[in-house]
Structure 1
Amino acid sequence: MTTDKNLPLPSEPNTEQVQARKAKTGGSSRRGALADVMEAIGSWVTGAVIVAVAAACLFGPAFVSELREDEIMSVLDLSDEQLEDTPMGDLVDIRKYVDEYETDDEVNRRAAEKAGKILDSTIEQRLDRN
C-alpha cells in the first residue's frame, strides 16, 4: 500500500475549504448579530404593547369617564352662541352622558343636573325651530 504525502487526508481539510468556511462563518456571524438585535427589538416592542394593553384595560374606563365628566361640565361654561354652534348630535350625546353620570359628590351631581337642563332647553329650541 502506497501513501502519497501530497494528498490531504480526508480528516484534514485543505486550505480552500478552510477559507470557504471562514468566509461563510464571517457572513453568518453578521447575520446572527443582526438577528439578535432584531429579536431584542421585537421583544421590547412586544413588551411595550402588552404594557399598553394592560394600562388601557386598567385605566381606560376611568379616563373615558373623566373625559365625559369634563364634557358635561364644559356645558356650564358655554355661551348661548357656542351652544348654537354645537352640532345637534353632540348635544344629544352629552345629554346621554348626563343621564349616565354617577357621582358621590353633591356639587358635581347638581352641576350635571344643571347641565342637563341647559341641554334639554337647547335641544327643545332647535327642534321647535325645525
Structure 2
Amino acid sequence: SIGKLIHLRYLDLSETDIKPLPNSITKLQNLQTLELSRCWSLSRLPADIFKKLTNLRSLSLDDVGADSFFLPSGLGQLTSLHKLTFLGVQSDKETAKLSDLKNLNNLRGSLEILFISEINDPIHEAKEANLGSKRGLK
C-alpha cells in the first residue's frame, strides 16, 4: 500500500488512469508535492486529504476531469501551499470554495479557477479569497 511510504516527499501520478485517489495517500504526512496533471479519469481526492497532508507545498491538477472533479473542503489549511494549478468551484458544502484561498498567501504561478455551478454570492467569495494580495499569482 502507498500509505507505508511515510517518508515520501514527491509523488507524480500524472497521465495515469487513476480514478479515485486511494485513502491510504493521507498517511503520507511528509508529502510536499503531488502531481496529478492529465489524470483525465480522476474523480475525487480523499475527503480528509488536506487535514492530513499539511506539509503539501505543490498540488498540480492541470487537465483533470474538470466537469466532475472538485477538491474537498479544507484547502485553506494548506498554508504552506506554493503551487495550485486548478480550483473547480461549486456551491456544495463538501467541496473547496474560492474563499478557501484567503490564507494561502504563498501561492505563486498560474491558477485556473473554474466556476462549475452557480455559487450564492460570487463577489463576496472573491473578496474573501483576497486574490489581489497574492502577488505571486498570475
* Structure number, greater radius of gyration: 1
TM class by shorter chain equals: under 0.3
| Greater helix content | 1
TM norm structure 1: 0.23
* Highest RCO, 1 vs 2 (Cα 8 Å, sep ≥ 6): 1
TM norm structure 2: 0.23
